[in-house]
Structure 1
Amino acid sequence: MTEQQPSPTPDPMASPSRSIRPRGTEESRKLAATAATVAIDNKAQDVTVLDVCGQSAEFDLFVIATGQSRRQLHAISEQIDDALEKGLGEKRYGIEGYDESHWIVLDYGSVVIHLFDEETREFYDLESLWADGTPIPLADLGVTTQP
């Protein structure tokens, strides 16, 4: 009788797992597209969507945007909440940084929205921190950057 060698354990992060994302990422892409559109409509700068599925089992996409003032960051976050909660029926799990208004984080589970002032965005540089993520062109999400 020959002893069988155990098969190697596949790397769970080599590709998104269906057990982690049983419905895929289409719903996440829809949320990110809506958040990016609202940010652009509210004059945010450098709006970026970053696919982090390969780096995280907890969330799929980051939406990152820069605002020019506390008032603008508040307006963007409130409009995104309105569009996602009332418009799409999505529940926000948490919000951080609203009072300080240097970095507002809106947690929608599979999508995390990061709204920065310019200095804080440059300091934390999420795009470099999550450099293994894949930027998604806004046009691929159906988001236009011009009126």
Structure 2
Amino acid sequence: MEPLDVLTKRKKSPARLTKASKIYKTIIRAIQDKKGENIVSLDLRKIPEAVADFFIICEASNQPQIRAISDAVEEAVKKNVGEIPYRHEGKQNLQWVLIDYINVVVHIMSSESRKFYKLEEMWSDAPLEEHNG
């Protein structure tokens, strides 16, 4: 019989991501390649309520571009990192596509949706980095 303290120990949580991680860089590059606009990342690692380590947010000027960016992100991450999304949402409406890689959540939004939902303001405690240019 095992001691009780062995049964109560928590398993290690998944490794925390860094800005240097391959998935983070791959997502930013894929968005830039498809001319995503106003690209920012929010570092959520020090926010206890956060559901991920990073949010990466960008906008696109039309629905075909939103689809192109989301497809490019998924293809690049699968090819370069070997990961597929845990889930994605919004590919029917193409106003706000969310791609969830557990530790990194990608938000590809129309300009109108981004102005309305104001994710950067909701997570204003998180350090923000711009990735344009």
Same fold (TM over 0.5): yes
- Structure 2 unaligned runs (5+)? 1-11
Q: How does the TM-score come out when normalised to structure 1? A: 0.75
Q: Report the alpha carbon displacement of residue 28 of structure 1 after superposing the two structures with TM.
A: 7.7
Mean Cα displacement is larger for which, 27-36 or 118-127? Answer: 27-36
Q: Report the alpha carbon displacement of residue 67 of structure 1 after superposing the two structures with TM.
A: 0.4
Q: Report the alpha carbon displacement of residue 46 of structure 1 after superposing the two structures with TM.
A: 0.2
RMSD: 1.9
What residue number does 1:133 align with? 126
Q: Give 1:33's match in structure 2, choosing from 14, 18, 25.
A: 25
- Structure 1 unaligned runs (5+)? 1-18, 139-144
Moved over 4 A (4+): none
**Is the Cα–Cα contact under 8 Å of residues 20 and 57 in structure 1 kept in the other structure?**
no
Q: How does the TM-score come out when normalised to structure 2? A: 0.82
Q: 1:57 to 1:47 in 2, by over 3 A?
A: closer
Larger Rg over CA atoms: 1
Q: Deviations over 1:37-70 (max 9, x none)?
A: 1111111110001101122453100000000111
**Is the Cα–Cα contact under 8 Å of residues 38 and 130 in structure 2 kept in the other structure?**
no
Give the share of equivalent positions with the same residue, in percent.
Answer: 29
Q: Report the alpha carbon displacement of residue 137 of structure 1 after superposing the two structures with TM.
A: 4.8
